[in-house]
Structure 1
């Protein structure tokens, strides 16, 4: 295992905004769930194929969505505290470590907020579908979210590769 220098790198403003936004979004998921909890049927759509539901489960699955979003958020924030453990496409030295680490932490922050947004979208759409006759899940929005994550990784890979 390659040992990178351990250099503390403070959070950027963008990371702080992402953290606050992710917490607000997760709190919104929790609040929304409890607002609609009594109105929701006991069985809700939990899986979709070709944009229509094909599996149903208890409404407690919504709580699982929230739990997964919280776990992913927490684990990625912990990972961002240890940027020297990440694998970088280049030689990390004392001179360039801060640049590598800032970019690595920022990449994690962007992906984190994108994943939380995707979970919030799925959560909200599940509630909407469960409360109406409409069984349409707009997979285009999810596709945009996943393409966004891939583009983010690509952009940061280029940024990190340009570090000397």
Structure 2
């Protein structure tokens, strides 16, 4: 879940955010309050000067296959693929025409718009058409329905308590 390909499925990227990560069973033995307060020592702190790979010389190759030599025909073949490393004319056109400029619209003074602000309360759920009609014409129906529901629950409870 933490490294899911789809960002919407990743742990911590859903509605619960960091709370979802903290409540995941993998992290159940970590006291996050003590960790955040600096009381608890983290179990692992990466060394910023260290390179975590098998061999420093393999960094530029990015290949797990050893002993493979590419010749000019291979280079010609792979140069036909659009990998994104070299811009192609339509990419330049998209940038020049600024067709995606509306995706960078924010609220006043660069703030988040209301639909992206997680601190805003969610919109209340919409009532069904039938519910709106019944409450408009017969407001006592919803009250009576509530009383009937609670009365039926109480009668079921009393029947279960009287059973041998």
What TM bracket, shorter-length normalisation?
Answer: under 0.3
Structure possessing the higher radius of gyration over alpha carbons: 2
TM superposition score normalised by structure 2: 0.21
Q: Which has the higher helix share?
A: 1
Q: Which has the higher strand share?
A: 1
Higher relative contact order structure (alpha carbons within 8 Å, sequence separation ≥ 6): 1
